[in-house]
């Protein structure tokens, strides 16, 4: 999460860092990804910062008009990220600096083009806020499962812009949701490591990283480096 900095993002602290590569001939546009957990000090900040890091690795720069941010359904407004969460991000080479927690507000949901939650309960809470959020709100693991079933060739090429590709990806995932159900109720959950030892934080970080990999590949059209 991040605060307004020219060319980087908008929001609180260093929240919502804007990924800003210029695609020649394309209008300035954006696609906002909102990661949601409970306190916004463990899972959602890890997911937010890993998403940014992965996009930068794939595109070589922070780029494409993506804005990545996070919030918590019982967010610790203004709180720092948990120290173990910072360690996990550092393990992956991602930047934990400048983060402050925030509580999920209507305006965050209204502005989001894609909401990815840690659990089904978080997803239900976001959808219950209204704002036509149902078709663009998924658990992270649910979205990963749906993305894995989408033929990349059916998505717009990167030359059309990451924003155009991202919007098409969300539409395709929403269309598949009723057909690809989770094998178990727990399959779509990322459990809360709050108060747990670093080893558990690292296992959650690995889980999030693995779930994000195909999502970022689909968004950018670029696979992770071997």
pTM (2 d.p.): 0.87
Q: Is the pLDDT of residue 124 over 50?
A: yes
Question: What is the per-residue pLDDT across 96-112, written as a single tens digit (0 to 9) for each?
Answer: 999 999 999 999 999 99
Give the residue from 42, 41, 68, 43 showing the smallest Cα distance to 54.
68
Question: What is the per-residue pLDDT across 69-89, written as a single tens digit (0 to 9) for each?
Answer: 999 999 899 999 999 999 999
For residues 148 and 126, is the Cβ–Cβ distance under 8 A? no
Of 26 and 180, which is predicted with more confidence? 180
For residues 35 and 47, is the Cβ–Cβ distance under 8 A? yes
Q: How many CB atoms lie within 10 A of CB 83?
A: 12
| Mean pLDDT confidence for 49-57 | 95
Contacts of 19 (CB under 8 A, 6+ apart): 52, 55, 56, 59, 62, 63, 64, 65, 66, 67, 68, 162
Low-confidence winner among 4-18, 30-44, 88-102 (lowest mean pLDDT): 4-18
Structure tokens at 201: 């934080």
Where is mean pLDDT largest: 27-36, 107-116, 153-162, 171-180?
A: 107-116
Looking at residue 59, what is its pLDDT?
86
Burial 33-64 (b: 16+ CB within 10 A, else e): bbbbbbbbbbbbbbbbbbbbbbbbebbeebbb
Between CA 32 and CA 150 the distance in angstroms is 21
For residues 71 and 137, is the Cβ–Cβ distance under 8 A? no
- pLDDT category at 205 given cuts 50, 70, 90 is very high
Structure tokens at 168: 């098409």
Its CATH class, for the domain covering 29-218, is: alpha beta
Contacts of 39 (CB under 8 A, 6+ apart): 72, 74, 75, 76, 79, 101, 194
Query: Where are the domains positioned within the chain?
Result: 29-218
């Amino acid at each position: 999460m991040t605060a307004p900095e020219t060319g980087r993002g908008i929001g609180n602290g260093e929240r919502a860092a804007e990924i800003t590569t210029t695609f020649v001939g394309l209008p300035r546009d954006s696609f906002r990804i909102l990661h949601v957990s409970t306190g916004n000090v463990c899972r959602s900040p890890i997911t937010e910062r890993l998403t940014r890091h992965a996009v930068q690795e794939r595109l070589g720069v922070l780029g494409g008009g993506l804005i990545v941010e996070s919030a918590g359904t019982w967010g610790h407004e203004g709180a720092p990220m948990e120290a173990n969460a910072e360690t996990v991000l550092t393990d992956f080479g991602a930047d934990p600096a400048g983060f402050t927690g925030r509580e999920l507000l209507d305006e965050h949901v209204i502005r989001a083009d894609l909401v990815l939650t840690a659990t089904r309960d978080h997803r239900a809470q976001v959808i219950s806020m209204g704002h036509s959020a149902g078709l663009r709100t998924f658990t992270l693991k649910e979205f990963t499962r749906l993305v894995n079933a989408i033929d990349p060739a059916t998505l717009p090429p990167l030359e059309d812009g990451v924003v155009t590709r991202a919007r098409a990806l969300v539409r395709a995932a929403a269309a598949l949701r009723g057909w690809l159900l989770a094998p178990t109720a727990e399959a779509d959950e990322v459990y809360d490591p709050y108060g747990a030892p670093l080893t558990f934080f690292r296992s959650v970080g690995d889980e999030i990283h693995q779930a994000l990999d195909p999502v970022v590949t689909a968004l950018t059209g670029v696979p992770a480096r071997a």
